[in-house]
Amino acid sequence: MLVIGFTGENCAGKTVAIDYLTKKSFYPISLSDMIREALKEEDKAVTRENLIQKGNELREKFGPAVLAMRAKEKMGKDKNYVIDSIRNPAEVEELKRLGNFFLVYVTADAKARFERQKRRGREEDATTFEAFKEMEQLEMENAERTKQNLSGTFVLADRKVENNGTFEQYYEQLNGALSAFSKEFKMERPTWDAYFMNIAKQVAARSICVKRKVAALLVREKQIISTGYNGTPRRTRNCGEGGCPRCNNFEEGGKNLEDCYCSHGEENAIVQAAYNGVSTKGCTIYTTFSPCLICAKMIINAGIVEVVFNEKYPLAESARALLDEAGLKVRAYKID
């Protein structure tokens, strides 16, 4: 996830920049929208004055970084984002915690910005250049951390872009900023172990065993060839529907295993491969719990060469000893 933030004076060109990056597949989020939502809840008009006042109120009540925190809640890790309306240094500090956040300060000559504001034609905008400058100065500096502080925000920018020329010149500068950031951008990517173990944990969510949810994956050359989770056999009642008397009686661990109707996750992964005519020879098995003795014997005889487990099964000592004797590689890979 790459996140680009924009700050700058009124009518400097932030909206144009947001639209430009949106066309480049960035998803836009505006911190001002968080304030607009709060105003709408109170049935107040969305004016510049009310936005400033409500923004200050939210920062005072919930902390100076509240708008950035709310914006982060809207983000997913599978998208790139562009953030507008950053007006407080604490918001920058909070967004920097994302790791791949870069701030751009967009500026332009005051008179040029005033002319743009007049063309915009909003009713609440200043009608004279003097009033424009006076309103802007109120936003520029503030000793209170909970108030807008544009000048304190500008100095935290990773790059400054001046928008006094044509759109083409402005876009060229924005492209230059993106190019510079992309060299520093560190793409988050899970390791193969993390990738497969997270999938195994997701597969385990399909289990409705009343005692424990367990799943396993069979992997060959970084390709999943089979999955399995613990549960009762096909065409029988599920464990969570009363299908397994041992599980539903919550028997003590290790006792009366012969009465358990549930197949283990490792067992089902191996059986599913056989059912579909897929060889398990040379595979690695990723399992959310280390295998029991019965599953260990199946793993060895199935030609599996490596076992990677997330958590240790309580009764796994003899299984581990057998796997070691058979020459399999066994290792733990813990994820939450």
Closest CA to 200 of 309, 282, 314: 309
Residue with tokens 């060299």: 183
**The dihedral formed by the CA atoms of 175, 178, 182 and 184, expressed in degrees to the nearest 10:** 130
Q: Is 266 a catalytic residue?
A: yes
Cα 329–Cα 253–Cα 308 angle in degrees, nearest 5: 20
Residue 100 has pLDDT above 90, yes or no: no
Could you tell me what percentage of the chain is helix, strand and coil, using 3-state DSSP and rounding each to the nearest 5? 45, 15, 40
Residue 153 has pLDDT above 90, yes or no: yes
Strand partners, 26: 80
Residue with tokens 């001046």: 162
For residue 81, what pLDDT band results from cuts at 50, 70 and 90?
Answer: very high
Residue 60 has pLDDT above 80, yes or no: yes
pLDDT above 70 as % of the chain? 93
Q: What single-letter DSSP state applies at residue 259?
A: G
Per-residue model confidence (pLDDT) at position 127? 79
Residue 205 has pLDDT above 70, yes or no: yes
Tokens of 109: 């000559």
What integer is the mean pLDDT of 193-208? 96
What integer is the mean pLDDT of 295-306? 97
What integer is the mean pLDDT of 76-94? 92
For residue 95, what pLDDT band results from cuts at 50, 70 and 90?
Answer: very high
For residue 122, what pLDDT band results from cuts at 50, 70 and 90?
Answer: confident
For residue 48, what pLDDT band results from cuts at 50, 70 and 90?
Answer: confident
Per-residue model confidence (pLDDT) at position 330? 97
Residue 7 has pLDDT above 90, yes or no: yes
Q: How many CB atoms lie within 10 A of CB 118?
A: 14
Closest CA to 82 of 33, 136, 152, 137: 33
pTM tops 0.85, yes or no = no
Residue 109 has pLDDT above 70, yes or no: yes
Catalytic residue among 91, 94, 266, 267: 266
Tokens of 298: 């199946």
What integer is the mean pLDDT of 182-192? 75
Question: What is the tens place of the pLDDT at every residue in 244-280?
Answer: 877 777 776 666 666 788 899 999 999 999 999 999 9
Question: What is the tens place of the pLDDT at every residue in 11-35?
Answer: 999 999 999 999 999 999 998 888 8
Q: Report d(CA 269, CA 267) in Å as an integer.
A: 6
Per-residue model confidence (pLDDT) at position 204? 96
Per-residue model confidence (pLDDT) at position 314? 76
Strand partners, 83: 5, 29
Q: What single-letter DSSP state applies at residue 231?
A: B
